[in-house]
Amino acid sequence: MAEDPGGAGRKPAPGRTADAKRPTERRGAAADGRIVNLFVGQGHGFIRLGDGREVFFHRSDVAEGASFNDLAVGDRVSFELLEDAVSGARAIRVERRKSRPR
């Protein structure tokens, strides 16, 4: 059988669409919680949800326009909760919630 140098007829890799060259954007359910652990030197932390469950996030999961270094333990944050069957739950697009005026 001849090799297909152009790649025509191949199925796209998981997480990719047939038309696009970049991966599909991951989306999760809207959620909020409070940062309970932050390991700045290692670039990750954990957020506790209202039900007591803790969810991992990495510095690369911080929302565009926000900074990982501006986050602190105790900060209320909003994010998208991504449930992954392989690696477990993860918070993506993490951003500090705006405090309400008193």
**Which pLDDT score is estimated for 27?**
79
**Which pLDDT score is estimated for 25?**
62
What is the mean pLDDT of each successive set of 10 residues along the chain, which is 102 residues long? Answer: 55 56 72 96 96 96 94 96 90 86 48
Q: What is the CA radius of gyration of the chain?
A: 18
> What's the farthest any 2 CA atoms get from each other in the chain?
73
Which of 98, 96, 97 has the alpha carbon at shortest distance from 38? Answer: 96
**Which pLDDT score is estimated for 87?**
86
Domains of the chain, each with CATH number or no CATH: 29-96 (2.40.50.140)
Instruction: Indicate the helix (H) or strand (E) that contains 50.
Output: none
Does the pTM exceed 0.75? no
For residues 56 and 46, what is the distance between their CA atoms, to the nearest angstrom? Answer: 5
Rounded to the nearest angstrom, the gap between the alpha carbon of residue 71 and the centroid of all alpha carbons in its chain is: 15
**Which pLDDT score is estimated for 6?**
56
